[in-house]
Amino acid sequence: MEGVQSIKQRFEIIGNDPKLNRALEKAVQVAPTDISVLVTGESGVGKESIPKIIHSLSHRKHAKYIAVNCGAIPEGTIDSELFGHEKGAFTGATSTRRGYFEVADGGTIFLDEVGELPLTTQVRLLRVLENGEFLKVGSSQVQKTDVRIVAATNMNMIEAIKREKFREDLYYRLSTVEIHIPPLRERKEDIHLLFRKFASDFGQKYKMPTIRLQDDAIQLLLKYRWPGNIRQLRNIAEQISVLEEGRNISLVTLNSYLPNAGNTNLPAVIDQGKSESDFSNEREILYKVLFDMKGDLTDLKKLTLELLKNNDTQKVQEENEGLIQKIYGNNGEELQEEADETMKVLELPEHEIEQTTYKSPQEDKYHFAEEIEEEETLSLQEKEVELIKKSLERNRGKRKAAAAELGISERTLYRKIKQYDL
């Protein structure tokens, strides 16, 4: 069995953290089997290295290895991408297509961001895991496949199961063995090693001298929380390598490249965000309030129209007692004031009344409904745009974090950003 150190050299993995070493050991141990593996860890920690290690050390290494980003494929086409489709299965399906599970038969499929899979696709995936069977979209013929599945996610899967966003049975089938990659802030001894490696690589790439950090800058590097983990560290090293003329980087210079670097010693504030169900409840309340307001205004116009058409206010009051009670409650004085105002209109001189534009009840009803719908739609759209803008600002433009805070999928957020041209 290949050792951890040789694996690090082969796949260019840098670091000596015990948790990282344990994750690599588990990958080496599980590779010769066909057990399903779930790789967990924050975004940017390097989860994609684990499935490559598993595939290269398995008996499937000469067969196909396919990596699929489940979060990047639109919900309407993901079943076709994974399982294929028959000609004519849907609009645009001009020919039969083989899916990843058919193409990778005998090999390994890496499902990145598996937590983003729609529930209907999760059912299909569960069937593949249980007996290796799947159906193409638009086909009734069962096909078999022999594929090793390695999945990865940065989601809290237990919370996703509680919110009914992920199937519990699928989670336990995927996580026969779970490999956790620690975040960079828990690997402090590896941070400077990684930075030096990246700085050296970018120095060679751009044919420039390698940047070096002063002692105080190194201390800042180690204290920073690195929310974007290794991906963020690599980007910072590249930015400094390209933009800074001086090759000896001070604390002040490094600090200017680190977002919220002043808060490095503070405990992390983990914003769990609102679940989608919380936002759904708020939307339902908002819709109810708007529709109630619309109904009340319609009732009020109906009552006013009755008063205008009938000089007998006492009769109108008796016939519409329930409606009056709904709009005005027990406040008789307010009702009387409204009635008096109406009577003033009725007592206008004839030539003034003729100048008033009159609409038939039916015409007025449609015009009013149209007006309310337009105002209501505009108001809801403005609120939605405002919520999305604020969330993106709070998360510094990170769509995944903003989507989690808003309680929607990243694909939905991307569609909204495109729709509103944000």
Give the span between the Cα atoms of 341 and 226, in whole angstroms.
Answer: 67
Residue 359 banded pLDDT, cuts 50, 70, 90:
very low
Q: What pLDDT score was predicted for residue 194?
A: 97
Q: Which of 134-138, 251-255, 285-289 has the lowest mean pLDDT?
A: 285-289
Q: Tell me the residue length of the chain.
A: 422
| Backbone phi, psi, residue 306, to 5° | -60, -40
Q: What pLDDT score was predicted for residue 357?
A: 46
For residue 92, the tally of other CB atoms under 10 A from its CB is 9
Decide if 398 contacts 261 (C-beta within 8 A): no
Q: What pLDDT score was predicted for residue 317?
A: 64
Q: Which of 92-106, 113-127, 309-323, 383-397 has the lowest mean pLDDT?
A: 309-323
Torsion angle in degrees (nearest 10) through CA of 155, 157, 163, 167:
130
- pLDDT tens per residue, range 166-187: 999 999 999 999 999 999 999 9
**DSSP 8-class letter at 331:** -
Residue 70 banded pLDDT, cuts 50, 70, 90:
very high
Residue 410 banded pLDDT, cuts 50, 70, 90:
confident
Per-position DSSP letters for 253-319, written without gaps between them: HHHHHSTTGGGTTSPP-------HHHHHHHHHHHHHHHHHHHHHHHHHHHHHHHHHH-S-HHHHHHH
Give the span between the Cα atoms of 305 and 363, in whole angstroms.
Answer: 13
The residues, any chain, with a CB within 8 Å of residue 274's CB and separated by 6 or more, are 405, 406, 407
Q: Which residue has the higher pLDDT, 103 or 269?
A: 103
Average pLDDT, the chain: 83
Please give the CATH topology (third level) of the domain spanning 185-263.
Helicase, Ruva Protein; domain 3 (1.10.8)
Q: Which residue has the higher pLDDT, 118 or 334?
A: 118
Cβ burial, residue 344 (10 Å; 0-12/13-18/19+): exposed
Bridge-based pairing of strands 142-144 and 133-135 is antiparallel
Decide if 61 contacts 102 (C-beta within 8 A): no
Percent of the chain with pLDDT over 70: 74
Q: What pLDDT score was predicted for residue 73?
A: 93
CA distances from 39 to 46, 238, 275, 363 (A): 10, 27, 24, 63
Q: Is the pLDDT of residue 350 over 60?
A: no
- pLDDT tens per residue, range 148-158: 999 999 999 99
Q: Is the pLDDT of residue 256 over 90?
A: yes
Averaged over 315-324, what is the pLDDT?
64
CATH 1.10.8.60 maps onto the chain at 185-263
Q: Which of 127-141, 223-237, 356-370, 381-395 has the lowest mean pLDDT?
A: 356-370
Give the span between the Cα atoms of 42 and 19, in whole angstroms.
Answer: 14
Q: Which of 193-207, 286-300, 303-317, 340-354 has the lowest mean pLDDT?
A: 340-354
CATH 3.40.50.300 maps onto the chain at 4-182
Averaged over 101-121, what is the pLDDT?
96
Decide if 396 contacts 362 (C-beta within 8 A): no
| Backbone phi, psi, residue 149, to 5° | -110, 125
For residue 369, the tally of other CB atoms under 10 A from its CB is 12
Averaged over 41-57, what is the pLDDT?
96
CATH of region 4-182, choose from 3.40.50.300, 3.40.50.720, 3.90.1150.10, 3.30.450.40: 3.40.50.300
The residues, any chain, with a CB within 8 Å of residue 125's CB and separated by 6 or more, are 82, 111, 117, 149, 170
Averaged over 362-374, what is the pLDDT?
49
Residue 92 banded pLDDT, cuts 50, 70, 90:
confident
Q: What pLDDT score was predicted for residue 379?
A: 61
